[in-house]
Structures are given as structure tokens and as C-alpha cells.
Structure 1
Amino acid sequence: MCNKGRRQSPINVEPDKLLFDPYLRPLHIDKHKVSGTLHNTGQSLVFRVDKDTKQHVNISGGPLAYRYQFEEIYIHYGTENSQGSEHHIQGYSFPGEIQLYGFNKELYHNMSEAQHKSQGIVGISLMVQIGDTPNPELRIITSTFNKVLYRVVRIETIDARLRANT
């Protein structure tokens, strides 16, 4: 669908066009700590889980029919409070956006194999607002931002329990 101009990124979510699903289950993300590396791509920061991680973080539930193994986090942010997110909601750009990506571990062996296949990859976007209450799990990553200006930084553990206010 992407090569036909559908399901493209970035998108503008229009709330008045969304359909309510009363049977939608809660999204579940395992609560394991993982190690990885934080890269500066020049456009965003990317955290990649180490290949030799023993306990994987799985994403399931919600609209997902399969279990997906978490592999990467893309972090988009700007210098202005209202600019930074890749996606928009009703034309509004958020100060930041966290995108979690995983591959379908029930059908495929890794992200490379799954990326061009049906039901292969899941992407979850969390829009970031600036608030008064700090998030300790998010702080693990953001505290290293000043160290990735021009190089890769190793993060020993990241807690997969990034909390979102609902």
C-alpha cells in the first residue's frame, strides 16, 4: 500500500474521521529491561535493542492479531514547543513523538525479514507534551541526548514501561 500513496508517513490524524471500536482490547507491552544503543541519524534519535538481549519486550493486544518483538524507538523532537513530532493530530504538531517499532515474531525471524511482508511490522506513536510531572522512564533516554550530538551512545538498560498519560 505504501508504494501506492496509502499508509504513508507522516500522517495527519483527523479525530472526526475515526471510528470507535467497543471491542478494542488494551495494548500490552512487556515490562522487561533491555540494553541497546542510541544513534543520532541527523533527523532523529534511534534506540536499537542489542541483538543478544536475553529477555525480549513483546507488544500484543489492541488491534494486533500477532505478538510483535520490540526492536527500535525513534525519537523526534524540535526546538520549539509546538514543533517536533513527525505526525500531526488535526494539524497540530507536538513538541515530540516517540515511535516504537517491532516485528511479527510469530511469522518472521527478524526485522529485516518482516519489513516488506504482510503483518510484518508494528509501529506505535506516542505524542509528547511538555508538562510539570517528569517521567522517570523517559528520563533514562532523554538524559543521554546531549551525548549523542555526533556519536553513538550505549545505554545499559531501558525500562520498557514508558508511561503515557491517558
Structure 2
Amino acid sequence: KIRFAFFFFFFFLFFYLFIAGPSFWGLINPQWNMCNKGRRQSPIDVVPDKLLFDPFLRPLHIDKHKVSGTLHNTGQSLVFRVDKDTKQHVNISGGPLAYKYQFEEIYIHYGTENTRGSEHYIQGYSFPGEIQIYGFNKELYHNMSEAQHKSQGIVGLSLMVQIGETPNPELRIITSTFNKVLFKGQQVITLE
């Protein structure tokens, strides 16, 4: 069993790195052609020394309304989706955004170890976790499905998670339900 698992691991690693990994996504599926050009590809490694400072960049604004929704284990990550009948929606605006985006989903990525779990990297460093916040352009589209494949349709924000001593009460609202979604397909309703 150990030899089989070892062989399978290296076969998967070889397959991912040299046949079907991120470098080949644009070749495997025509719908992913932007990946073949090295643009709009995920995961990414943010290298701070290569970033340009924009002195005119406005502060990013996220409304501070309480929302309820459902936390779902997809088997790859945990996804929080805002209830469709939410009374007050949370909007994301400012920064580099020319439009208002309505918050709809949070993807939570984490690993089996406390050192690696983020999907993206900063200067080659993987964080223990990553929270990705997604919203759709509410000025041009009616919902996520309509906006998904359109220009300026979706905005995504990534927050890298470090493990520390100081608790985060807002994050605790969602993380306190993690024990109810341990397995793929499980979901739990989270209240404001």
C-alpha cells in the first residue's frame, strides 16, 4: 500500500508539473486561453519589488452590514454564500474599482499544516490560509452567473491569514462553524 501511494503521489506530481498544471491550462482547455498568455492566471506569486505605487489609488471600501448565509464544504475549500434574500447587501468599491460590486461569496483556503494553505503566494511564501472575497458588478449585471464571464463582471480580493494569539471576533463567526462542515457536501447556515 505504501509503495502504491508513493508511486501515485509521484505520478500525480509529474502529471501536474509537466502535463496538466497551471503552465498548461491554456493549452488543455480553449476556454482558459488567457492562462496560455500568462495573464489572469491563478495561483499567482505577488512579488512586492515588482509592484508599482499608484499615488492616486483611492482607499478600498467595503460596507459594514451584517449578512447571513450558508457555509458549504466543496471538498476543495469552504465556501460562504450570502443568502439571496439578504435585506442589506455589502458593496465593495474604491481602490482600483470603477464600479460597485455586490459581495456574494467567500472562499476559505487552508492546509493540513499551519504553514501552508493559501492558494496564492507573496514572494514565494505560502500562508497558513487565505480568504478570498468575491462580488459581482451590480451596476452592469444582475447576479454572479450573469457577470461571471463578462468584462468587469467579478471582483476578487484575497486576504492572507496568519496564525496568531489575538482572536478576530468577525472571523470567529464563520470559523466557529467549521466543525459542522468537516466533510465534502456538508453545509451549515450561519447567522449575522
TM-score by length of 1: 0.92
Per the alignment, residue 160 of structure 1 pairs with: none
Between the aligned partners of 1:34 and 1:43, the Cα distance in structure 2 is 24
1:2-151 superposed matches below 5 A: 3-5=33-35, 6-150=39-183, 151=186
- CA deviations 1:21-69 (Å, max 9, x no partner) are 1111111000001110000011110000011111100000011000000
Per the alignment, residue 15 of structure 2 pairs with: none
Between the aligned partners of 1:149 and 1:98, the Cα distance in structure 2 is 18
Between the aligned partners of 2:63 and 2:140, the Cα distance in structure 1 is 19
Between the aligned partners of 1:128 and 1:2, the Cα distance in structure 2 is 28
SS of the equivalent of 1:21 reads: coil
Per the alignment, residue 26 of structure 2 pairs with: none
SS of the equivalent of 2:64 reads: coil
TM-aligned CA deviation for residue 2 of structure 1: 5.2
**Contact 2:46/2:122 (8 A) holds in 1:** yes
SS of the equivalent of 1:122 reads: strand
Per the alignment, residue 162 of structure 1 pairs with: none
Count residues with an aligned counterpart.
Answer: 157
Per the alignment, residue 153 of structure 1 pairs with: 188
In terms of mean alpha carbon deviation, does 1-10 or 42-51 score higher? 1-10
Runs (4+) of structure 1 moved beyond 3 Å?
none
- CA deviations 1:123-165 (Å, max 9, x no partner) are 00000001111100000111110110131111011xxxxxxxx
TM-aligned CA deviation for residue 99 of structure 1: 0.2
Structure 2 letter corresponding to 1:4? M
Identity of aligned residues (%): 87
In terms of mean alpha carbon deviation, does 77-86 or 42-51 score higher? 77-86
- CA deviations 1:78-110 (Å, max 9, x no partner) are 121220000000110000000000000000000
Greater C-alpha radius of gyration:
2
More helix by share: 2
- Cα RMSD of the aligned pairs, angstroms, is 1.1
Unaligned residue ranges in structure 2 (runs of 5+) = 1-30
SS of the equivalent of 1:137 reads: helix
TM-score by length of 2: 0.80
SS of the equivalent of 1:140 reads: helix
